Amino acid sequence: MSISSTLSFPIETGVDLDFRPASYVADWCATAAAIQNVVGEERREQLHQRMAAGTLRYPVSARMLADHLHHRTRRAWVALDPARHISGEYLPRYERGENEIARIVVGTTPRLVYSLRAGTRMYPGKRPHFGQSTRRTGEDNKRYRLVGECGNAFEIPTSYSVGVLSLRELVALIDRVRAPHLDEAPKHLPCPERLVWWRAQREHHAGSLQRFVRVSSVVYPELGAFYRERLRWWVANRFAGSKGRTQYAEPLDGALEAWWRRGR
């Protein structure tokens, strides 16, 4: 039985919370590598549709693969379907050496995207150099920040770590995120449940609440499965009217999880 590292949720997920990736570069399959730092949620989904098990089905334009679109291209892209195409496209730019390691997608219209990013915190005056220990250069020191599209300020419990986080440690970090726009939610709730609670003040359909927040990662492919089960369990027990299991895995997340598990 896998248990959240901050709260005891009696759910069986089959997820290895002790998994620790070798690095924060998602190079274990072509799809993961292609979409890791693409900020636009719709572009990520379309890239997945055009790639199957690492094989290109159709030509993919440079625009689709770009982490951030040029402002003119972005304006034209968003204009095609503002409600869908705008999600994620206005996230802040990456700092040098940063990669996205997880994202939270909130099912508003349009969808809101929060991006958790990790970079390397080098010691002053030090640069990566073959033959030097990582302790001497600081290459093992990782820094983290959570960014959103609307200028939201996020407080995360772990700004730095020595080495890559385990899945359990990543869950603890996400759970303890705080933000002023979520202050009205009960303080004891972890971040994803606080987002669902906020929605529940305006809507009470359990199926919709279970689909409202999606947490995913191409670096930790089982992260999505963990939160899907936990949020399903929480909504079923917190709000009346929930009936049975609701399947709501996004095609992209489900496919990546399946490929990753087959390769382990």
pLDDT tens for 55-99 read: 555 677 777 889 999 999 999 999 999 999 999 999 999 998 899
Q: What is the largest CA-CA distance in the chain?
A: 61
Is 14 a domain residue?
no
CA distance 139 to 91: 26
Is 74 a domain residue?
yes
How many Cβ atoms sit within 10 Å of the Cβ of residue 18? 10
Is 22 a domain residue?
no
With H, G, I as helix, E, B as strand and everything else as coil, classify residue 97: coil
What is the structure's pLDDT at 263? 66
Residues listed for the chain: 264
What is the structure's pLDDT at 241? 53
Is 55 a domain residue?
yes
Mean pLDDT by 10 residues, the chain (264 residues): 46 81 91 93 87 62 88 94 95 94 95 95 56 53 92 88 93 94 87 92 79 94 91 81 45 64 68
How many Cβ atoms sit within 10 Å of the Cβ of residue 98? 19
The strand ranges marked E within 121-199 are 141-147, 160-162
Encoded tokens for 200: 């529940």
Task: Determine which helix (DSSP H) or strand (DSSP E) holds 116, and give its type and residue range.
Answer: strand 112-120
The DSSP bridge partners found for residue 99 are 118
Is 208 a domain residue?
yes
CA distance 217 to 116: 9
Q: Which residue has the tokens 């998602």?
A: 26
What is the structure's pLDDT at 120? 87
Position 204: which residue type?
Answer: H
Task: Determine which helix (DSSP H) or strand (DSSP E) holds 113, and give its type and residue range.
Answer: strand 112-120
Is 106 a domain residue?
yes
Q: How far apart are the first and last CA of the chain?
A: 20
What is the structure's pLDDT at 193? 92
What is the structure's pLDDT at 116? 97
Q: What's the structural domain count of the chain?
A: 1
CA distance 175 to 192: 7
Contacts of 255 (CB under 8 A, 6+ apart): 31, 48
Domain span at residue 249? Answer: 30-263
Contact status, residue 44 vs residue 252, Cβ threshold 8 Å:
yes
Is 163 a domain residue?
yes
Tell me if the pTM is above 0.95.
Answer: no
Is 72 a domain residue?
yes
